[in-house]
């Protein structure tokens, strides 16, 4: 007899791919973006953040899976912070050796990885309910996904600002505005759109929008009815239609009557 | 009166002129996640204010000790983190035993206490050399800034949800990123930063 409760076991490569790309923590759930916004100003800084987050996630998730399953949730959250703090303090000098300024460009953001929301969420949702091997896989996958975004953002910012990549910027910045958070958020917005486009094209069943308020995502084959759709047939469920405040919406029935509602 | 003015100025600065969430990114992911639950805004805001204020004050007095004053940044942040954990555990125990808080509140307590905004505040206070009144003002202002950011993001979420002119691939998270970037840009300009001049 088939056990209905058993879940299909993913292969290592599939688990890594899904954890890092399909369910990317930054581009789908906006988790832990503070270090990316504040510290990923160059490609090397992005790499440092990526390595730091991966180390924190991996160690915290494995230790959670091994020891913290029976601890109350409110206390577990404090323990995650302590573990992350220990990891950050231990690995900082190795990671800072990659940078030319000894980690000065990362500021306090690197040390604040100890309270990164990503570690808490992954531990709570996954690591405290599964085995250490699965937790390790999840930690590495989420770390790779987060790191890829941090590295890309850092590289794009460095290129726009200094016109270089992975080199120590010694010239004055061409566009110092890229240091401002809004630039990062715009880059992240376009990256999230690209990510969603790829998911819709290749993995339409995996598209989940955390921030659509009511899971408003429409499947790709259902085109948006647009301005001239029939009100009764294809009106999407909305809270408030702010589009109507931009220009008046005409319906098919009005068009059939003569175009101007006569 | 001077102390009150300094406190108010620091609070308004942290909240409006240079909103600490949108101008630095501290606590941004928490405020975005919490913005989905408008019913609990004031509870979240109040809890964040409590933690930001209490940690800022404790660290202000700790910084008076010469040994702590001369600590390296990494050890300073480690110390502040341990202080925050102590405050969090004491608050959680108080809520569990005295207030008989439910599971939902206890879950949100951790999210409100253990985030980058709370940890960053005492570091910012120390680096800026704030006085006692300014430290209090920044602590309160950060909590209000957090509440304001939740309100603004929630409003944006509703607009994005109801707007059918957003292309399919930009619906949801991408549009939210762009929306938050516009608020961050507005906040940067309020603080007097120039863009292309």
Shortest alpha-carbon distance between residue A214 and chain B (Å): 8
CB contact under 8 A, A74 and B106: yes
CB contact under 8 A, A196 and B22: no
pLDDT class of A169 with cuts at 50, 70, 90: low
Shortest alpha-carbon distance between residue A211 and chain B (Å): 5
Residue with tokens 């001049």: B197
Residue A104 contacts by C-beta under 8 Å, 6 or more apart in sequence? none
Alpha carbon distance A129, B56 (integer Å): 35
Tens of pLDDT, residue by residue over A24-49, are 889 988 888 999 998 888 899 999 99
Chain A contact set for B163 (CB, 8 A): 241-243
CA-derived radius of gyration, chain A: 23
B146 touches chain A (CB under 8 A): no
B5 touches chain A (CB under 8 A): no
Q: By CA distance, what is A235's nearest residue in B?
A: B164
pLDDT in the model for residue A249: 46
Residue A77 contacts by C-beta under 8 Å, 6 or more apart in sequence? A120, A124, B110, B114
Alpha carbon distance A175, B23 (integer Å): 18
Q: Calculate the alpha carbon distances from A110 to A103, A104, A210, B72, B95 in Å.
A: 9, 10, 27, 14, 32
CB contact under 8 A, A75 and B89: yes
Report if residue A212 sits inside a domain: no
Report if residue A2 sits inside a domain: no
Domain coverage including residue A242? 223-262
Q: What is the mean pLDDT of chain A?
A: 78
pLDDT in the model for residue A172: 67
pLDDT class of A53 with cuts at 50, 70, 90: very high
Shortest alpha-carbon distance between residue A176 and chain B (Å): 9
B161, A214 contact by CB (below 8 A): yes
Q: Which two tokens stand for residue B38?
A: 């408008």
Q: Calculate the alpha carbon distances from B56 to A155, A157, B3, B87, B126 in Å.
A: 35, 33, 17, 11, 9
Q: Which of residues 176-195 of B touch A (CB under 8 A)?
A: 176-178, 180-182, 184-185, 188, 193, 195
Same domain, A195 and A150: yes
Same domain, A187 and A260: no
Q: Is the pLDDT of residue A167 over 90?
A: no
Chain B contact set for A115 (CB, 8 A): 81, 114-116, 118-119
Report if residue A5 sits inside a domain: no
B93 touches chain A (CB under 8 A): no
Same domain, A202 and A229: no
Report if residue A218 sits inside a domain: no
Average pLDDT over residues A73-95: 92
Shortest alpha-carbon distance between residue B27 and chain A (Å): 7
Report if residue A167 sits inside a domain: yes
How many domains does chain A fold into?
Answer: 2
Same domain, A148 and A41: yes
Closest C-alpha among B188, B194, B3, B32 to residue B116: B32
Same domain, A248 and A199: no
Chain B contact set for A184 (CB, 8 A): 25, 181
pLDDT in the model for residue B84: 95
Average pLDDT over residues A216-224: 41
Chain A contact set for B195 (CB, 8 A): 177
b/e code A97-117 from CB counts within 10 Å (16+ = b):
eebeeebebbbbbbbbbbbbb
B34, B150, B176, best to mutate vs chain A, most A CBs in 10 Å:
B176
Interface A-B: count of C-beta contacts within 8 A: 194
Same domain, A177 and A228: no
Q: By CA distance, what is B102's nearest residue in A?
A: A74
Q: Is the pLDDT of residue A86 over 60?
A: yes
ipTM of the complex: 0.90
The pLDDT profile of chain B, 197 residues, written as one tens digit per residue, is 688 888 888 888 888 877 888 888 898 888 988 888 888 888 999 999 999 999 999 999 999 999 999 998 889 999 999 999 999 999 999 999 998 888 888 888 988 999 899 999 999 999 989 999 999 999 999 999 999 999 999 998 888 887 888 888 888 889 999 999 999 888 877 777 666 65
B28 touches chain A (CB under 8 A): yes
Same domain, A183 and A140: yes
A226 φ/ψ sector (left φ>0, alpha ψ -120 to 50, else beta): left
CB contact under 8 A, B174 and A192: yes
- The residue among B159 and A259 whose pLDDT is bigger is B159
CB contact under 8 A, A115 and B169: no
pLDDT in the model for residue A9: 59
Q: What is the 3-state secondary structure (H, E, C) of B118-187?
A: HHHHHHHHHHHCCCHHHHHHHHHHHHHHHHHHHHHHHHHHHHHHHCCCCCHHHCCHHHHHHHHHHHHHHH
Same domain, A29 and A114: yes
CB contact under 8 A, A38 and B32: no
CB contact under 8 A, A192 and B115: no
Alpha carbon distance A86, A56 (integer Å): 9
Chain A contact set for B174 (CB, 8 A): 189-190, 192-193, 196
Alpha carbon distance B21, B187 (integer Å): 10
Shortest alpha-carbon distance between residue B32 and chain A (Å): 8
Closest C-alpha among B179, B197, B184 to residue B19: B184
Tens of pLDDT, residue by residue over A66-81, are 988 888 988 999 999 9
| Identity of the residue in A115, A224, A238 whose CB atom sits nearest the CB atom of B116 | A115
pLDDT in the model for residue B59: 95
Same domain, A196 and A227: no
B162 touches chain A (CB under 8 A): yes
| Identity of the residue in A112, A181, A218 whose CB atom sits nearest the CB atom of B23 | A181
């Amino acid at each position: 007899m088939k056990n209905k409760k058993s879940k299909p076991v993913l292969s290592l490569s599939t688990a890594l791919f899904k954890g890092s790309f399909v369910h990317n923590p930054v581009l789908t759930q906006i988790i832990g973006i503070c270090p990316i916004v504040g510290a990923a100003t160059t490609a090397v800084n992005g790499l440092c953040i990526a390595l730091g987050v991966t180390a924190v996630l991996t160690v915290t998730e494995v230790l959670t899976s091994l020891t913290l399953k029976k601890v109350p949730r409110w206390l577990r959250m404090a323990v995650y912070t302590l573990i992350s703090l220990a990891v950050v303090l231990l690995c900082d000098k190795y990671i800072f050796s990659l940078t030319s300024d000894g980690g000065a460009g990362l500021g306090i953001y690197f040390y604040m990885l100890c309270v990164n929301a990503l570690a808490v969420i992954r531990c709570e949702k996954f690591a405290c309910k599964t085995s250490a091997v699965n937790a390790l896989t999840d930690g590495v996958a989420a770390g790779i996904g987060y790191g890829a975004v941090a590295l890309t953002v850092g590289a794009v910012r460095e290129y726009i600002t200094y016109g270089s990549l992975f080199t120590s910027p010694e010239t004055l910045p061409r566009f110092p505005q890229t240091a401002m958070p809004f630039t990062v958020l715009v880059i992240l917005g376009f990256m999230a759109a690209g990510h969603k486009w790829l998911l819709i094209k290749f993995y339409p069943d995996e598209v989940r929008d955390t921030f659509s308020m009511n899971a408003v995502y429409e499947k790709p084959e259902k085109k948006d009815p647009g301005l001239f759709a029939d009100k009764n047939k294809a009106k999407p469920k909305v809270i408030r239609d702010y589009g109507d405040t931009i220009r008046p919406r005409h319906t098919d029935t009005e068009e059939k009557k003569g175009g101007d509602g006569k | 009166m001077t102390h009150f003015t300094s406190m108010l100025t620091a609070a308004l600065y942290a909240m409006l002129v240079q909103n600490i969430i949108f101008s630095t990114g501290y606590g941004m992911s928490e405020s975005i996640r919490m913005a989905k639950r408008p019913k609990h805004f004031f509870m979240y805001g109040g809890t964040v204010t409590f933690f930001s204020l209490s940690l800022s004050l404790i660290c202000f007095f700790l910084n008076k000790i010469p040994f702590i004053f001369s600590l390296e940044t990494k050890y300073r942040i480690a110390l502040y983190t341990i202080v925050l954990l102590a405050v969090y555990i004491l608050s959680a125990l108080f809520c569990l035993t005295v207030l008989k808080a439910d599971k939902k509140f206890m879950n949100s307590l951790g999210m409100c206490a253990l985030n980058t905004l709370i940890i960053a505040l005492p570091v910012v206070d120390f680096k800026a050399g704030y006085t006692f009144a300014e430290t209090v003002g920044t602590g309160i202002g950060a909590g209000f800034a957090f509440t304001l950011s939740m309100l603004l993001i929630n409003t944006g979420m509703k607009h994005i949800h109801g707007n059918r002119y957003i292309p399919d691939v930009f619906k949801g998270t991408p549009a939210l990123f762009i929306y938050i970037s516009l608020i961050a840009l507005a906040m940067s300009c309020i603080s007097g930063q120039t863009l292309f001049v």
